[in-house]
Each structure stands twice: as structure tokens, then as C-alpha cells.
Structure 1
Amino acid sequence: MLITLIRTLILYIVVLICMRIMGKGEVAEMQPFELVIMLMIAELAALPMGDTGIPLMNGVIAIIALVFAQVSISIINLKSEKARSIISGRPSILINKGQINQKELQRLRISLNDLVEQIRAKDYPSIADVEFAILETNGDLSIIPKANKRNPTLEDLQLNAGYEGLPISLIIDGHINYDNLKKAKVTEKWLLDQLSAKGIRDPKDVLFSYIDASNYFYVQKKQQK
């Protein structure tokens, strides 16, 4: 039992490191070859976990080899447009200038019901609202609506928007983030004064607090037990 636990923890750490090496985009937006590698890594990690008769290094070496292959293919994709089209494929235009591309739907074996369902999932109730629908290489459907169906922007309304920037977290679950205090160019004394002005004496009573680019200070207290 102890050996199985140790082998499982080792393989977990190895797979976690491999996922970090493969990049943050792997889980969110996987290409077909990336999905295959993920499935194979999961299988290779599961075998040594369940069977102590399989040498642990066999699984580790195989996983490392797959990660090396994935990184190599990703580099090739970056360097060569032709290789990228072969490995990852090319986007497919399913709706072109408001017209459904029937041949492309048949080639990809996508029914009209599936297309309509995906368009509704993108908050467009009707195909008539869509100028272009593009099936990306990762399987996601990108929608470009017709001009009269697009949400107006501040530029369309001839309005100027101020710079928003990113809010900087100062306190999370009662702990002050001193690195973020430096990024926000504020001191701990300033933070404590802001809390005091809102009736909070101890930062440990704060669930979450941040400051934005306009110097707006937000704070939420923890709920009393």
C-alpha cells in the first residue's frame, strides 16, 4: 500500500511538471495532436500506478518522451505554416457572408442542428444574424455577426474611456500581499489607514481587498462565524 502511494505521488509530480512544460494553453485550447498526447500521458501514468510489477521508470521515461515530442511539434508549428496546416489543420468557414457552406458541413460531418446549437450557445439566436461562422482548429466556433447585429462600442458612440488597467490584490483571506503593495506603490501604513477608515482594525478580518488603476480601494470583510 505504501509503495503504491509513493509511486502515485511520484507520477503525479512528474505529470504536473510535464503539464507546466507543455504550457498553460494545453488544457484550455487543445489541438488534436495535443489531445492525443494528453490521453496517452494519462494512460502511461495510470499503468504504473495500478501495477507495481511495471517499473516506475518505464512510465516516467515514456511520459518524458511524449512531452519532448509535444514540445518539438509545437516548435515546428511555430516555424512552418505548411507543417501547422498538416498537423493542426486549417479553420473551416461554415457560414460565408451570411450563406451556409453546405459542402463544408458535409465534409466535416456537422449537421445543421449542431451548427444552429453552437450559434445559439454564442448568444446569436438566428443564423440570419451571422456574417461568418468559422470552425477553428481547436474545435471552437468563432462568430462574426452582421454589422447591424454587433454591439455598439464606445468608439461607435464617439465616447472616450479612461484607462482601466488591472486591479491589484492587496489582501486575500486575511493575508497582506507585500509584493503587490510595491506594485501598487502604496505602503502598509496606507493600507491600514484605508482599512481603519472603513472600520476594520485587523487585516485578518478582510476576505478580499484590491486597488485599481484609478486608485479605487475595494475591501470585503469576512463573514462572522
Structure 2
Amino acid sequence: MEEYLLIIARTIFLYIVILIIFRVMGKREIGELSVLDLVVFIMIAEMAVMAIENPKDKLSHSVLPMFLLMGIQILLAYVSLKNQRIRDVIDGKPSVIINNGKIDENMMKKQRYNFDDLLVQLRDKNVKNVADVEFAILEPSGKLSVFEKKKKEEEETSTEGQQEEEGTLNLPLIMDGIIQEEHLKQMNKTNLWLRQQLRSLGYKDFKNISFCSYDKGVFFIDLKDE
């Protein structure tokens, strides 16, 4: 009887500990968890199970590593928040699978992503035909973001200039003071073009820019906090 009471007490205690740990580590939807997040969560859950299954073992032997993992996760989250390169290593980068209606097979091979995966996720987005997709971006979490082509009726009411802008994927051009060269290439723009545009808007040093995007001829610019 005493052993059962001990198991119940440890279960309740560990439940509270895990709840606190997950709350401290921050809020994220299950579908948006990175590989690192999943590894940490699985390890913490496994430690909790072992602590419950072995009531004779000291509780500190399981709780200490759990809090250590929490500390490591918080530290990595803070470092990745300040450094984009580290963020790319930890979380990965989004990959454009369909660009301007063209499937990038090389990118699919690089991500080990096959056509069955693509069709399944398109159906999940209620997209029946690949031909209806203008852009499809595979997020680091494995989620597919889909942008469908405009309908013919809408295209006929748009001007030629508007169609050119809308046919360009809206991607961040600067993040954490670093120019995103790959995104510029995908938008058929150059580093020189971006610098000239920013200077004309009064931004001489792009390193002071926290985030910059370009959509329909308009820049959105957010400066770093002092």
C-alpha cells in the first residue's frame, strides 16, 4: 500500500514539474515544434516515466536532468533569438518547394520530400491540383504553407504591374541585420537594389534593421531596439 501511495505522490509531483517546465520553455503549437523541441520533450517525458516506474530511485536523479534540459533549451532559445545563423542550425530554414508554379525537384530531394508527401499536404490544405499552386513553402516544422494562384476573373481585373508584384513571393529581405541573399535571388532582386532602396528611404546602415520585407512595391521596415 505504501508503495502505491509513493507512486501516486511521485506521479502528481512530476506532473506539476513537467507542467512548470513546459510553461517556462514557452508556448508553441505541436505542429510548429522543431526537431530539437521534440527531442527535449521526449527526453523529459522518458525521465518522468522512469522516475514513476522506479519509486526506490531518488527523485532528484530524474528531476535534476529535467531542469538541466530546460535550462539548455532556454539558453539555446535566447542565443538563437540573437543570432540568425545559430537559429538556422537549430531550427532549420524554410524551403520553397513550388516557386511561381514550378516544382523545385532539387529542393525536394535535398529535403528528402517526395511527391506523395506534397500531395498529402496539399489535400490537407483543400488544394486539389498542383497546377493551382503559385508558391508552396516547407517550413522547418514540416508544415507546408501554400499560396494558390489567382483565378482568371481576378487576373483580368488586375493591371500588368500588379500581376508582376503579386507573382513575387513575399519573403524577408533582412533579418537581424543580415541581408537574405537567397530571398533576393528568388525575388529576382539584387543586393545593390536593396541597398539603394533603403538609402532612398533614409536607412543608411542595414545592420540597424531588425526585419525588412517587400510586398507590392512597399517596404516594411522594423529597426532594432536600442
Provide the TM-score with structure 1 as the length reference.
0.64
Task: Say whether 1:36 aligns with 2:39.
Answer: yes
Equivalent position amino acid for 2:94 in 1? P
- In the aligned structure 2, how far is the partner of 1:149 from the partner of 1:62? 58
Partner of 2:23: helix, strand, or coil? helix
Deviation by residue 1:91-112 (Cα, 9 ceiling, x = unmatched): 0111111011111111222221
Q: Report the count of equivalent residues.
A: 152
C-alpha deviation, 1:50, in angstroms: 0.2
139-148 or 127-136: which moved more?
A: 139-148
- In the aligned structure 2, how far is the partner of 1:113 from the partner of 1:150? 31
Partner of 2:57: helix, strand, or coil? coil
Please name the residue that 2:17 is paired with. Answer: 14
Deviation by residue 1:125-159 (Cα, 9 ceiling, x = unmatched): 100110111000111100011122899xxxxxxxx
Please name the residue that 1:87 is paired with. Answer: 90
- In the aligned structure 2, how far is the partner of 1:60 from the partner of 1:150? 61
Equivalent position amino acid for 2:123 in 1? R
C-alpha deviation, 1:114, in angstroms: 1.6
- In the aligned structure 1, how far is the partner of 2:18 from the partner of 2:52? 12
Equivalent position amino acid for 2:112 in 1? R
Aligned ranges for residues 1-225 of structure 1 at < 5 Å?
1-25=4-28, 27-148=30-151
Higher gyration radius (CA): 1
Deviation by residue 1:198-221 (Cα, 9 ceiling, x = unmatched): xxxxxxxxxxxxxxxxxxxxxxxx
Partner of 1:134: helix, strand, or coil? strand
Larger RCO (CA within 8 A; separation ≥ 6): 2
Equivalent position amino acid for 1:20 in 2? R
8 Å CA contact retained: 1:129, 1:149: no
8 Å CA contact retained: 2:135, 2:148: yes
Deviation by residue 1:33-67 (Cα, 9 ceiling, x = unmatched): 11110000001111110011221011111110111
Stretches (4+) displaced over 4 A: none
8 Å CA contact retained: 2:31, 2:143: no
8 Å CA contact retained: 2:33, 2:141: yes
C-alpha deviation, 1:26, in angstroms: 5.4
Name the Cα RMSD after superposition.
Answer: 1.9
- In the aligned structure 2, how far is the partner of 1:108 from the partner of 1:16? 34
Partner of 2:56: helix, strand, or coil? coil
- In the aligned structure 2, how far is the partner of 1:147 from the partner of 1:15? 46
| Aligned residues with identical type, % of pairs | 38
8 Å CA contact retained: 1:18, 1:64: yes
Equivalent position amino acid for 1:15 in 2? I
- In the aligned structure 2, how far is the partner of 1:38 from the partner of 1:149? 47
- In the aligned structure 1, how far is the partner of 2:35 from the partner of 2:152? 33
Please name the residue that 1:201 is paired with. Answer: none
Equivalent position amino acid for 1:34 in 2? D
Structure 1, gaps ≥5 residues long: 152-225
Provide the TM-score with structure 2 as the length reference.
0.64
